[in-house]
Structures are given as structure tokens and as C-alpha cells.
Amino acid sequence: MKPMNRSSYAGLPERFFARVNPTPVAEPHLLRFNHALALELALDIGDLDPRALAGIFSGNVVPQGAEPIAMAYAGHQFGHFVPQLGDGRAILLTDAIDRAGVRRDIQLKGSGRTPYSRGGDGRAALGPVLREYLVSEAMYALGIATTRSLAAVTTGEPVFREEALPGAILTRVAASFVRVGTFQYYGARDDADAVRRLADYVIERHFPQAKTEQNPYLALLREVTGAQASLIASWMHVGFIHGVMNTDNMAVSGETIDFGPCAFMDVYDPAAVFSSIDQQGRYAYGNQPHAAVWNLARFAETLLPIIDTSAERAVELAGEVLATFSTRFADLSLAGVRRKLGLSACEEGDAALAEDLLDAMHRNQADFTLTFRRLCDAAEPEAADADVRVLFVNPRDYDEWASRWRARLARDVLDPRQRAAAMRRVNPAYIPRNHRIQQVIDAAIDGQDFGPFAELSTVLSQPYEQREGFDTYAEAPQAGERVLQTFCGT
């Protein structure tokens, strides 16, 4: 194994992080190692035996050259500002240049206390680790920007939540772990020098094109705004609900990060909320674009002093950029929904056609994923609507909409078979449904059976391709299987 390097983040001034080693665990056991990702990262560790891998990815063995750090950050949690959060249970081990030339951070989550832990134990329970592993890798396979999962290990130690649970550590990989809350940490301390250094770091790493612009920091805001508009649109297209869109859980790179109480909707409902702690529905499915803009406004505030020396001018410039989110999001949203409906050209009435379908789905408690997937079949020449109709409480609502859709398709240039194939590339057959994740977690905890975890991972690795033997994974939960609440990873 080649030595690891110091992460580039650890090259920033000392007030950006705390140096801290992972706390060793009793009995590390490798649950899963993502060989494909390790190859992509050119880590040269995939050949180590499971014991050696468990040693590294439990934090028991710190590879030579790595300089583990916990990153400082602040954040608005459900609208309330907390000036100091930071990695309370995560440790950035190193970063690696991947085969595409992109620098990627490698972080252990659940690896012990850090100076930012406050009252927490620095640990993670097995359930949330399995959930994050499955959902982050599923997001990747769906083609959505996301942090990835490199390894999961059990620690052989219990963690104490409402009850004693098996402990685990997740190794995750990100374009970077810089969050909106990282900027807020320095903004709240009026440390404009640190904000500038952090902005320069982020520009260099994620948005180098901003350097050439007249006002690079304004360009940074524009890039981050665009990346978030694109990210949230891609979430909405697969029915993903992040669940805790606090500013400390929004990565400036535009990747999905921190899969706590996240969930995919079964039945379509814009007000859908699964997180047990989101009592007001702040982060409900349909509110996600608003939550993103709110977070971006907090990000913009931290940048004001470096955008322009005139505070008034800075506010004006930043305001103009923030205002672009809604049109950008609306455009991406519509483009995505056109693809979902198999429309190649643009027509005036497309947005209304899409909205009317969603309205009908909502009124009729139709399953989001199944409706769109079955529409792919209905787009074939010998189209049959029966399988879509049954998803609607009142199938006539579907019939009415479908006749408009067909009239619209008739004016579109695509060949029906090509259209159906194109639709199947954007409307997944398999998503990480809540009840499936719960079954995986129950089997792992109650029966030490990781077979269901492995099988669900396999199913989710090719979400757009219906495969034999996996039919039940495409199904919506039965009444008794529904999981209506998800919990934070703490």
C-alpha cells in the first residue's frame, strides 16, 4: 500500500480544523468495501485483506502520511444559527486525486470524539451507516451528484442511543466536505480573511473558471447557486427528500451530503415529510427548492465583504445572483419532467401537462416511482394503460390526463420505441424504498444477517434496468410495510 498524503484542507491555516486521530475500536470487522470506488480513487488498497481494510477504515490504523483532522463549521439548524458545530464524529483522513484528475476527500464517520463533539459520543450506529451506504450509492447509480461510500465496518462496541445498538463506521468520499456552514463559521466571527481563503480554496478546487471572472467571489456564488439548482431538481425528479437541509448539510460542491433521515417518497405528496424532527415540514419534498435558496442566501451573506467593499453594492450584486435560482430551477425542473414524460421538443403547454399529472397523482395517492416507470411501458406502440391506471384511486383521472399526453406525444418527433427506451433511462425501476432499507437494517441488527444489505446494494446499482428476480424490489410497500418516519443518524 502506498503512503497517503496530507489532505489539501489540512494545508489551510490551523483555525480551519483540529488535528485529531480516530479513537481505536474494540473489534473492527469489514462489512463492505467498495472496490469499484477504490479503483476510481487509485488508492491501491483494494488488494489488502479484509482484516487490514477493517483496520484502516475503522481508524485503528492510521496510514502513513495521513494527517487526520476534524473540520470546523457552523450552521443554521432548522433556521436557528449555531456558531460552532464542526465534525463531531467525522475525521478527514486524506484526499486522493481520482482517475479523472479530481481531488476527493476521504472521511471516516463515527470514528470517535473530536474537539467539536460537544455532548456527543463521536460514534455512529449500524443502522444509519447502512442507510447512508445504500442511499448514497443509490444516488450515484441514479446519476445524481452525491458523496459516495467506500467502506463500512462494525466496531464490536455498542453505542447508546435510546437503546444499545451495534456501532459502525462509514468511510465516505466527497468532492469536498466544505459546507455553507463552513463559510458561516468564519462569517460569524467577522473573519473576512478566513472567508477569503476558504473562497479561494473552493474556487481552486471546484470552480476554477470563476478565477477568470471580473468578480471571482460573485462568480463563486453564481456557480454554487447553479450547482444547487441542478442538484435539487435532480432530487425532485426521483422523489428524494433530504430531510435535514440545514446549512451545515449543504455542500458547496453541489453534492448530496449527510443522509440522516432522508427518504424516497412512495405515494406522491408535495408535503411529504419523513424526518421525525421536522415537525413543521420545513424540509418537506416540495419545500426543498425554497430551503435551498434560503441556505444560499446565508452563504451569500458570508461572501458580502469580499464581493464588494460597498456593503450596499455587495447586497445588490448577490441579490441578483440569488434571484437566478428560481428560473434556473424551473428550467431544469421542466427539462427533467419533459424527459420523464418522453417529450423531446418543447411546447408551451408542457409545464401544465406535467403539473396536471402530479396533481392527479396527489389526489389519487399514486406511487411516484411506479407511475413514471409504467408510463415508459405505456409509451410503447402497443401501449396499454392498465398498469398505470391501477395506481390511481380513481383511474378516470389518469385516463383523462393520458388522452392529453397521447395527443401531445403524437406531435412529438421521437419514434415510440426510442421514446420508451429514453424514458426508461430517466425513470428508475428501483429506488431505495424506506421499507426495504428498514428490512435490511432489521436483518442486520436482529439477525446479524447482511445478505439483504448485499442484495439491495446489487438491485440499486442499476436502477434503470429492470432485472429478472428483482421484481419485488420495484413494488411499493404493502399497507403493513410502510415506514412513515425516519430518524437522524445520531
Query: Where does this chain bind ligand AMP (CB under 6 A)?
Result: 85-89, 116-117, 120-123, 248-249, 258, 260, 488-490
**Rounded to whole angstroms, how far apart are CA atoms 175 and 253?**
7
Of residues 176 and 364, the one with the C-beta less far from ligand AMP: 176
Closer to Mg ion at the Cβ: 135 or 474?
135
- Shortest distance (Å) from residue 109 CB to Mg ion: 9
Whose Cβ is closer to Mg ion: residue 28's or residue 489's?
A: 489
Cβ-in-10-Å burial (0-12, 13-18, 19+) of 356 comes to middle
Instruction: Decide which of ligand AMP, Mg ion, none touches 87; Cβ closer than 5 to 8 Å per partner kind.
Output: ligand AMP
CB of 165 to Mg ion, least distance (A): 19
Question: Do 127 and 104 touch, CB atoms closer than 8 A?
Answer: no
Active-site residue, selected from the candidate residues 87, 105, 248, 397: 248
Closest-by-Cβ residue to ligand AMP is: 120
Q: Which is nearer to ligand AMP, 76 or 89 (CB)?
A: 89
**Active-site residue flag, 47:** no
| φ, ψ (nearest 5 deg) of residue 128 | -60, -30
Beta carbon nearer to Mg ion, 261 or 463: 261
Residue 123 binds which one of ligand AMP, Mg ion, none, with CB within 5 to 8 A depending on kind?
ligand AMP
Q: What is the DSSP string of 331-349?
A: HHHHHHHHHHHT--S--TT
Task: Tell me if residue 275 falls in helix, strand or coil.
Answer: strand
DSSP E strand stretches across 161-280? 164-174, 240-241, 263-264
Q: How far is the CB of 248 from ligand AMP (least distance, A)?
A: 6
Q: Which is nearer to ligand AMP, 86 or 452 (CB)?
A: 86
Asked if 249 is part of the footprint of Mg ion (rule: CB under 5 A), the reply reads yes
Phi and psi at residue 11, in whole multiples of 5°? -85, -5
Task: Give the one entry of Mg ion, ligand AMP, none that residue 95 binds, where binding means its C-beta sits below a cut-off of 5 to 8 angstroms depending on kind.
Answer: none
Q: Exposure of 339 by Cβ count < 10 A (0-12 exposed, 13-18 middle, 19+ buried)? A: middle
Q: How far apart are CA 259 and CA 148, in angstroms?
A: 11
Which residues share a beta bridge with 265? none
Helix axes 311-341, 288-307, angle to 10 degrees: 150
162 or 468, CB closer to ligand AMP?
162
CB of 121 to Mg ion, least distance (A): 16
What distance in Å separates the CA atoms of residue 36 and residue 279, rounded to the nearest whole number?
39
CB nearer to ligand AMP: give 477 or 489: 489
Distance in Å, CB of 468 to Mg ion, minimum: 39
For the CB of residue 258, give the shortest distance to Mg ion in the complex, in Å. Answer: 4
| Cα–Cα distance list, 91 to 12, 18, 57 (Å) | 16, 10, 11
Backbone angles phi, psi at 81, to 5 degrees: -80, 130
Name which of Mg ion, ligand AMP, none residue 120 binds, using a CB cut-off of 5 to 8 Å depending on partner kind: ligand AMP
Minimum distance from residue 451 beta carbon to Mg ion (Å): 30
**Binder of residue 121, out of Mg ion, ligand AMP, none (CB less than 5 to 8 A by kind):** ligand AMP
Contact 229, 329 (CB under 8 A): yes
117 binds, among Mg ion, ligand AMP, none (CB under 5 to 8 A by kind): ligand AMP
Task: Work out whether the CA dihedral 373, 378, 379, 380 comes out positive or negative.
Answer: positive
- Residue 255 contacts Mg ion per CB under 5 A: no
| Residue 276 beta carbon to ligand AMP: minimum distance, rounded to whole angstroms | 12
- How far apart CA 403 and CA 399 sit, in angstroms, is 6
- Please tell me the distance from the alpha carbon of residue 183 to that of residue 177, in angstroms, as a whole number: 12
Query: Quick check: 258 binds Mg ion (CB under 5 A)?
Result: yes
Using CB under 5 A, count the residues that bind Mg ion: 2
Q: Which stretch binds Mg ion (CB under 5 A): 33-41, 117-125, 242-250, 448-456?
A: 242-250
87 binds Mg ion (CB under 5 A): no
Q: DSSP secondary structure string, 54-78? A: HHHHTTSS--TT---EEE---EEET
From ligand AMP, Mg ion, none, interface partner of 490 (C-beta below 5 to 8 A by class): ligand AMP
Task: Give the residue numbers annotated as catalytic, written as ranges.
Answer: 248
Q: Which residues bind Mg ion (CB under 5 A)?
A: 249, 258
